Structure 1
Amino acid sequence: MERDPGGEKGHQVPGTGPAGRIPALQRLRRHRVELVDELPERVDWILDRALQMDLITKDDYEDVKYVPGPRRRVRALLDIIDCRGDLVADAFSSLFSKSGGVADTDTGSGEYGTLVKKHRQVLLRRNQSMMPYNSRVGEKVHLLDLFTDLLLVSGHHSTELKRHQLLSLGQQRIQLQEGCQLAILPQQLFQQSPSRVLVTGVAGIGKTALLQKLVYDWAGGQCLHNFQVVLQLAFRDLNLIDQPVSFRNLVLRKNGHLAKLLDLVFEEAQKLLVVLDGFDEFKFCSIVDGDRYVMDPDEEAQLPDIINSLLRGELLPEASVLLTTRPTAVTYIPVETIDRFVVITGFSEKEIRNFFLKYYRDEGLSSRVFQLVKENHFLFTLCFIPAFCYIVCSVLKEQGATGHNQPKTMTDIYSRYLTMLLKHHARPQPQGPGALTQMLHNLCRLAYSKLLQHDTLFCQHDLQAHHIQLNTFVNSFLDRTCVQEPDCVEGIFSFAHFTIQEFLAALHYVLEPQPFPDVLDMDTCRMDLGYLDIFHRFVSGLLSERNQSLLSKHLELGNVTKLEDYHMWLLEGITESCEKGSSILNLLHCLFEQQNHSLAERITPRSLHIHVGDNVLCPVDLSVLQYFLDLQIGDVVELDVTATNISGEGLRTLQPYLQQCESLWCGENKLDSEAISCLCELLKSRNYRLKLLGLGWTDIGNEELMELCSALKENRTLQELWIEGCSADYDGILDFASVSSTNSTLKKVVFIGHSLEEGDTERLKQELSPAALGLIVAGFCDDRQLWQGWCDWVRQRCYTCTDDKLLHFLHKIFPCHRPSSRLWWVQQWCTALQELLQERIDRCRLAETRRKLQKLQGTISLHC
């Protein structure tokens, strides 16, 4: 049984001596009266932990849970433990001694200890209930009844590689959940102090639930023992503040009980953890990275400056900070201040099983539903994301978990969830027929307007402005919390989850004849911004015929006139992206949501260049890509999966389609042995039509080179092979060149940016045969045809990159592996890059990123 290190010391049952002198059961009986006085405020947490540790059974738990009154619950629990024997009693004593509060004995007494104890009790109460997207007002679920462990993995300290890991669920999650050598436990987040930890994950992945569980366990004495005080703040609450404020008053808004404690907390900031949840929901997130610092907790300043100062260690430099965000807002965070990057990758298959069991509370039923979902690839991959897993369970429970007419897309699931709520509230409304539909319209209008303002929190006057009255139906979508203002307590509202707001906003766009502003006509809201991606997918799914038919049974939809216009917008976007080779992934998601084969047949681009690079491809993304490739629009001129974190498993999934490609770009991925094997099999395939293969910056070494070389002996189509930035040495490249020169079709193998030592390039020229020498390009040269194409490719990558990605990409070339300015094409190329960088500098709002762009521009100017 896990014991708290030193738990008996200074935290024993009242009146006992050192541990072990008196049998535990006897101690409990002797001090029963004192325990009944001391434990009521903590009894719910103790009861939860006792169940987790198997000190009591589920039946015991339910018997005690529903006993009225906390003192009576303590007595009932003590009665049960009294029948379990001395070993259980001893473990039970250790358990409730942990819940007592502070980890350090010097703060366990006096006024300070009393206030810390009260703060822990407040945080226990605030975090003990989860708020699922419940369909009945007032329905709550205890945190431990539904919370299921999440898989957390360490990110990379390189900003760009970190961003790749953060952008989605991650194709490597299967290897991670099986090996788990990179997995970390929540209590291991802070290994040094002070520390700034950034936790990221996609929508619905469980960021808020993780923090809730972490704070709940700290308040119960279960983890983070090096922190005496935890301050829990949510950006959706902070959005209400638009006037200068001090950090002290910021904390006291919802923690007035800490008024007498804060001076000491600030003085001993090394024992303080500040938890900031939902940076992507912060309406000022884009201006946080400023140059004004706040150093005094009592200094009034604008909220973005306070957050920036906390992250940079200018304010409370010895305190630790835990920050969560969606990946779309990472670019606004001063990432150079972050000590540790952590990615939530959601559930594993085992955890999905556990969630189903907790949700259905019936092993047989949960197993049947799990098997049903597992057979539906798209539903199953959605369930790796906790929020979607909950809604999938809700929908399948409502429709009886049959295998008929299952939802096929994310919008299908949310639409059925909405109709489920509508049916629950379909009784006659006092306002008359159509009142329920009007309430939903008003909610959708609120969701849309707030989404475009990048706002997730609103007040009573916002509800009034949209004619929304609180009732059981409205409360099914909204959460309400209270904020202490100087002269009153104000109720604030948010949608139960951001994806709920995005779905309702999309529904407003579909239902409103002339939504203002019209997102599809706004250049500033194109797909490349990211934060409206899920909104766009919902719009597409809601405009599909099947969801129109479903919702029309429960809503007075009228004539939805947008469908054909939307189809034209989507077709034009996909066609243009295919022909230009620009990013297409979210457009493919929108097409998938349509599930319209006749629409797909209208996609007729002149050429097919599919670029899904710079997005970490999760299982759902791969399903969407497969769906598009199955349409057989034509031969794929180019497939770009650069920087997608694709693994061998992902390449195996795409293998049938890779044989249709003329050019395949797999660069900037850490290709494992299975990935190399998969590529070698493709090279050996007789039906393979590949002419160009890009494997730049994939850490390929000597061994992988020889595998590729062996496969090339059987290949008769490949003409160019790009392996920039490889880790192969002189001997590896020499052997590869000698063998690959026997291939009759291969014309160029480019090794620029390699790990050759000084002078190795000249040695290669002397060692290689004339045939091999004509094949291998180990450095920049004046081959006009070769480098013109390379320059065009670099410029295209730069135009489609984010600022961070552009910096990372160009730093691969400058200054370490820069071409000589004496070459004819270098000056023209560098001038074009300088102009591109100047455009980025002019519109960059982040001071730190702008400085990096200017520095890179200066480096490139040396070659012009």
Structure 2
Amino acid sequence: MSNKVINELCLCPGLQCTMNEERGEGGPTSETTLSGDHGHQSKAKRRVQQETPESPGPSGVSMEMDCSMARPVGLNEGQPFVEGQPFTKKVKQESADSSGPSCVSLNTDDSRIHPLQCKEEAHSPGEERQHQERSKVTSAQSLLQHQTELIKRAEEDAQTFLDKRLKKLWRVLFPDLPQGSESQREEEEEMDGKKNDQWRRALKGVVDIAKLCLMEMNQEELADKLWNETVAVECQGKIKSHLKKVSGCVFEGQSTGLNDFYIEPCITERGSGEVNMEHEVRMMETASRKPGKEETIFKCEDIFKPLPGKDQPIRTIMTTGVAGIGKTVLTHKFTLDWSEGKTNHDIHFTFPITFRELNLLKGKEFSLLELLHYFFIETKEAGVCRFDQFQVVFILDGLDECRLPLDFQNNPTLTDVTESASVDVLLTNLIRGNLLPSARIWLTTRPAAANQIPAECVDMVTEVRGFNNLQMKEYFRKRFREDTEASTTISHIMTSRSLRIMCNIPVCCWIMATVLKHWFKTSKIGEEMPKTLTQMYIQFLRVQFIQGDRKCIGRAGTNPQWSPEGGKIIVSLGKLAFNQLEKGNLIFYETDLVECGIDVQAASVYSGVFNQIFKEECGLYQDKVFCFVHLSIQEFLAALYFLISFIDTGVNEFSKEQSPSKEDHTIYQRAVDEALEREKGHLDLFLRFVIGLSLGDNQHLLQGLLPKKRSQQHYIVSHIKEKISGELSPQRSINLFLCLKEMNDNSLVNDIQRKLKSGSLSGEQLSPADCSALVFILMSSKKEVEVFDLKKYCATEKGLLRLMPVLK
């Protein structure tokens, strides 16, 4: 090794070395500490006893040394230097010529060794020269010893570093090897997280060494794989960093930390390929019930794990659930936990992509590789091209919002990830497994759109049921700081079946928490809490208007006047909501807004309501996508616009024609008929809001926005009861009962309850309306019915069919 290399190692900053010397033969113990920390300099003191012929008595010389470098202190020319022994040594020297012992104490500072200074008498020039020569020799020997120790330590540290990095490389290359302990993974992640260039070059050097060794062993394929893997690891770190920011927040009127209010929803297995085409409110009828004993409950992080007793791996999962039930939040939680290194350590890459973003690429062509580079630029910058070598998860969120054809039957087969095709063709081949068959696919969708994917392409279907009663209570306790407010809110919601059902949806819990928080702050003594769904949504609109727009005169509990600008925006949003609800669209683009007279930039400036209930999301390259915070808000605004339009112009928005009758109750009757004509029930919740808005008290809350007209409510109630008595499905009858509930009409329910209490109820005497009322009462009960006596309630096949919802 050259002197230049030795000197560089010796002068390396930050190195520390502590050496202790045990007592030598016949001598006391001496200790010297070497440190590179200039803030805590340790001094080594030494007394050297020396006898000279010239000194008749003892002579003392003191020398102190600051050991930022090793300094020689050996004084005897004949004393040999032995490698491995300490640099400093107490030396006793006796001379036959000395008449007595001479004591010398040496002090040195951190920059040089001071010449010996004799306190009692000076040396002769010859002795001084001889002493200096001996000191130089000893100094060189000590320096060499110190450098040897540094080299040895540097070699050990380099070997440790190399061993750790190589172990990680082998685990990446061979996933079947033991993955190491949690502490090892944390230490490796800490090493990976270092940002300085020297550190990165060192990591790359380890890869180069390993690759060279593999090539010397004629393992070129393995060497290339190792290189690709290490490049991917660096790319993975950048993607994780990006996904932490994207997935760590959710929108609840404003950006909120995901983990601040996250509560794990209930996720169960559902039959593969099963599609529910009903309206989502119907499907929530049983959501608050406990899962069956045979149902499998999933945790978010275990979504791809095989079911108990089944070894077959799961490649494609479809998760269904109503709008706002928590599907998207669930995928964010999965992504966030993976990116933070908490779960699914076997996954190399997670690629969450929404159909909203994919819709914007309609008509364009990409290869699958180009598509990934488009959405995740980190993969392009790193040059990662062989995704078949990694465990990859694609999360395709919002299938129900897809505007691509997804023609599984007629699309051509594609197996090459570098071959270009339309996004539609890429998706169908990816889901079928023709492209990247080793990749895992997670699709989320509302139930009505689940049939867009062939059943044979899906290995398992799961369902997000949202919050059960316990989870709903936990949510409100997190939302309200005051325990009394949380308890009052929970008790109030549990008394209303409509509110309790809607609170299975996390977004609706947020809506109600927003309303009731404001109510607790501003309500007057004796003022009732909102108890119907329509009242709750009216108050939500008012709260957002008051808090966001600040142009609403008055406060909650009084009658606010809507500013012209804000009122205009709400009407425009209502028109957009109604038109898109008719088309079945939940997401909109800027052209859709322009058609309804909405200037996005201007609206967001002068109306806080716009920002609170309407989301603008920017995709790649600033493409804009819009949606309401939740489907129920879209349905409420659509109902509001439907009535405003009729009262102002007399136009029925369903037919776009002038209504032949000027009696306003006819428009409510027309809304009932229109909703019942929709087989899927997609206007059921819309209808409940329309009927609820017929009440004078509710119109009073919207004074200045909805023109107040006294409705002839007995006509509306009679029309609904007539429909209930007809041949309707149980679900349709239940929704009509809920419409009556919005009008505070409980006549049918009270009648069947009297019969139940009197014991006069007979299956043979039950009319269709009675059966529907019985179903409504039984399903509204807070208690679960463990035993259902069919003989007590029905005697006919039709009666049994009407009671099927209870049996389910």
Deviation at 1:394, TM superposition (A): 1.0
Q: Tell me, what secondary structure is at the counterpart of 1:415?
A: helix
Is contact 1:409-1:593 (8 Å) kept? no
- Residue aligning to 1:678: 788
- The CA deviation string for residues 793-815 of structure 1, in whole angstroms up to 9 with x for no partner, is 9xx99xx9xxxxxxxxxxxxxxx
Asked whether 1:188 is paired with 2:321, we answer no
Q: Tell me, what secondary structure is at the counterpart of 2:461?
A: strand
- Residue aligning to 2:410: 291
Asked whether 1:498 is paired with 2:639, we answer no
- Residue aligning to 1:389: 509
Q: Tell me, what secondary structure is at the counterpart of 1:579?
A: coil
- Residue aligning to 1:240: 360
Is contact 1:170-1:345 (8 Å) kept? no
Distance 1:166 1:589 in 2: 9
Q: Which amino acid aligns with 1:168?
A: M
Deviation at 1:418, TM superposition (A): 0.4
Q: 2:583 aligns with which of 429, 453, 467?
A: 453
Distance 2:285 2:540 in 1: 27
RMSD, aligned α-carbons: 4.9
Cα 1:156–1:303 change in 2 (3 A) is same
Cα 1:412–1:691 change in 2 (3 A) is same
Distance 1:503 1:515 in 2: 17
Is contact 2:365-2:422 (8 Å) kept? yes
Cα 1:91–1:189 change in 2 (3 A) is closer
Is contact 1:98-1:222 (8 Å) kept? no
Q: Which amino acid aligns with 1:575?
A: E
- The CA deviation string for residues 33-56 of structure 1, in whole angstroms up to 9 with x for no partner, is xxxxxxxxxxxxxxxxxxxxxxxx
Q: 1:176 aligns with which of 278, 291, 302?
A: 291
Cα 1:288–1:359 change in 2 (3 A) is farther
Cα 1:479–1:365 change in 2 (3 A) is same
Q: 1:477 aligns with which of 613, 618, 622?
A: 613
Distance 1:94 1:490 in 2: 39
Q: How does 1:318-467 map to 2 (within 5 A)?
A: 318-400=438-520, 404-428=527-551, 433-467=563-597
Deviation at 1:204, TM superposition (A): 2.0
Cα 1:265–1:243 change in 2 (3 A) is same
- Residue aligning to 1:691: 795
Distance 2:302 2:480 in 1: 31
Deviation at 1:110, TM superposition (A): 3.7
Distance 1:216 1:327 in 2: 25
- Residue aligning to 2:725: 578
Percent of residue pairs identical: 22
- Residue aligning to 2:271: 156
Q: Which amino acid aligns with 1:477?
A: I
Deviation at 1:161, TM superposition (A): 9.4
Distance 1:151 1:598 in 2: 32
Q: Tell me, what secondary structure is at the counterpart of 1:114?
A: helix
Q: Which amino acid aligns with 2:436?
A: L
Distance 2:182 2:355 in 1: 39
- Residue aligning to 2:318: 198
Q: How does 1:462-861 map to 2 (within 5 A)?
A: 462-468=592-598, 469-471=603-605, 472-485=608-621, 489-513=622-646, 514=651, 516-518=653-655, 520=671, 526-552=677-703, 555-558=704-707, 575-576=722-723, 578-580=725-727, 582-586=728-732, 588-595=734-741, 635-637=765-767, 653=781, 675=786, 677-679=787-789, 683=791, 688=792, 690-692=794-796
- Residue aligning to 2:207: none
Deviation at 1:301, TM superposition (A): 4.4
Deviation at 1:311, TM superposition (A): 2.7
Q: Which amino acid aligns with 2:690?
A: V
Is contact 1:128-1:143 (8 Å) kept? yes
Cα 1:450–1:520 change in 2 (3 A) is same
TM-score in terms of structure 2 length: 0.58
Q: Which amino acid aligns with 1:583?
A: S
- Residue aligning to 1:129: 249
- Residue aligning to 1:312: 432
Deviation at 1:570, TM superposition (A): 8.3
Deviation at 1:310, TM superposition (A): 2.9
Distance 2:297 2:512 in 1: 26
Is contact 1:199-1:342 (8 Å) kept? yes
- Residue aligning to 2:222: none
Q: Tell me, what secondary structure is at the counterpart of 1:407?
A: coil
Deviation at 1:129, TM superposition (A): 1.1
Cα 1:170–1:342 change in 2 (3 A) is farther
Larger Rg: 2
Asked whether 1:225 is paired with 2:345, we answer yes
Cα 1:280–1:543 change in 2 (3 A) is farther
Greater CA drift, 305-314 or 92-101: 92-101
Is contact 1:288-1:304 (8 Å) kept? yes
Distance 1:584 1:306 in 2: 42
Deviation at 1:300, TM superposition (A): 4.7
Tell me how many residue pairs correspond in the alignment: 546
Is contact 1:151-1:344 (8 Å) kept? yes
Is contact 1:274-1:319 (8 Å) kept? yes
Cα 1:550–1:155 change in 2 (3 A) is same
Q: How does 1:40-189 map to 2 (within 5 A)?
A: 110-132=230-252, 134=253, 139-157=254-272, 159=274, 168-169=283-284, 171=286, 174-176=289-291, 182-189=296-303
Q: Which amino acid aligns with 1:259?
A: K
Distance 2:765 2:542 in 1: 41
- The CA deviation string for residues 82-102 of structure 1, in whole angstroms up to 9 with x for no partner, is xxxxxxxx9999768679999
Is contact 1:245-1:301 (8 Å) kept? yes
Flag structure 2 segments of 5+ consecutive residues without an equivalent.
1-14, 16-36, 38-180, 194-224, 307-312, 553-561, 656-669
- The CA deviation string for residues 762-820 of structure 1, in whole angstroms up to 9 with x for no partner, is xxxxxxxxxxxxxxxxxxxxxxxxxxxxxxx9xx99xx9xxxxxxxxxxxxxxxxxxxx
- Residue aligning to 2:72: none
Q: Which amino acid aligns with 2:532?
A: T
- The CA deviation string for residues 346-378 of structure 1, in whole angstroms up to 9 with x for no partner, is 113332232112212344543343344334454
Q: Which amino acid aligns with 2:722?
A: T
Q: Which amino acid aligns with 1:141?
A: T
Cα 1:254–1:463 change in 2 (3 A) is farther
Is contact 1:571-1:602 (8 Å) kept? no
Q: Which amino acid aligns with 1:325?
A: T
Asked whether 1:256 is paired with 2:405, we answer no
Q: Which amino acid aligns with 1:535?
A: F
Cα 1:199–1:591 change in 2 (3 A) is same
Q: Tell me, what secondary structure is at the counterpart of 1:475?
A: helix
Flag structure 1 segments of 5+ consecutive residues without an equivalent.
1-14, 16-29, 31-89, 611-622, 656-671, 696-721, 723-792, 801-864
Cα 1:451–1:372 change in 2 (3 A) is closer
Q: Tell me, what secondary structure is at the counterpart of 1:198?
A: strand
Q: Tell me, what secondary structure is at the counterpart of 2:577?
A: helix
Deviation at 1:396, TM superposition (A): 0.8
Distance 1:334 1:166 in 2: 25
Cα 1:597–1:501 change in 2 (3 A) is closer
Q: Tell me, what secondary structure is at the counterpart of 1:264?
A: coil
- Residue aligning to 2:71: none
Is contact 1:275-1:323 (8 Å) kept? yes
Deviation at 1:639, TM superposition (A): 8.7
